[in-house]
Amino acid sequence: MSTLFISDLHLEDARPEPSGWLTAFLEGPAQSADAVYILGDLFEYWIGDDALSPTARELASATHRLASQGLPIHFMHGNRDFLLGDHYADLAGFTLLPETVVVDLYGEPTLLLHGDTLCTDDHQYQAFRAQSRTPQWQAAVLSRSVEERLALAKSARDASAAHMESAAMQIMDVNEDAVRKAFAEHGVQRMIHGHTHRPAVHEYELGDAGKAQRIVLADWYEKGSYLEVDAAGARKRDI
């Protein structure tokens, strides 16, 4: 048995291919998994649980069916779908996770996070993140009409794309000091995250704490993939 991890699918009605890959994942490897973890940016944007797209409804039906059969499906918010709430989580059979959590994976304590909190050199994004996670900001946004929220989401997506084009590449990736601080704070030697769209396995020397490993999940723009973790280790699998 194994535990499976995915992130950065960026699902939306206008781009149906990732939904097909996800269906293959749910009907294939997920069927025999111990658990599935979705580490953020499952959707391209999320404007509230009261404004579900056809893609979101279809996914909820599929994941709820699996969850009702006994598969734990854990969801962690990303920077695109942080407004996803309890109503949709219940509809989809998701267990909502905090923004950082340590889980025991076959005897190896592992830190899970979306990854955006590690990108501390991107000051513009971190300022927006701090503001947008407050209850006041979220309540103000969710009080607007669906049309207004959709316009805001599209505007934010355009602004994000422009920021990524103009910002230096290094500030869009994790800050190595932030990574080492996370290892130390949580007392682990392995972390798994997404967000950066730079899939890789990074090795660290932590002095007296020994060796550590940071695994970055792949996005689903060109193809679907997942990380499989079991007692023997971790490996990337394509769908």
Q: Give me the chain's average pLDDT, please.
A: 95
Q: How do residues 161-171 score in pLDDT, each as one tens digit?
A: 777 665 666 66
Range 79-94 average pLDDT: 97
pLDDT of 239? 94
Helix, strand, or coil (residue 196): coil
- Indicate the helix (H) or strand (E) that contains 231: none
Q: Which residues pair with 112 in a beta bridge?
A: 101, 192
Q: Which of 91-95, 152-156, 199-203 has the lowest mean pLDDT?
A: 152-156
- Kindly list the distances between the CA atom of residue 79 and the CA atoms of 7, 30, 36, in Å, as whole numbers in the listed order: 11, 25, 20
Burial letters 225-236, b for 16+ CB under 10 A, else e: bbbbbeeeebee
* Domain CATH code at residue 156: 3.60.21.10
Nearest to 78 by CA among 48, 38, 36: 38
Domains: count for the chain: 1
- Give the phi and the psi of residue 12 in degrees, each rounded to 5: -160, 160
- Lowest-confidence segment of 58-72, 77-91, 150-164, 178-192 by average pLDDT: 150-164
* pLDDT value of residue 229: 98
Range of the domain at 52: 3-238
Predicted local confidence at residue 170, as pLDDT: 62
172-184 average pLDDT score: 94
pLDDT digits (tens, 9 = 90+) for 95-132: 999 999 999 999 999 999 999 999 999 999 999 999 99
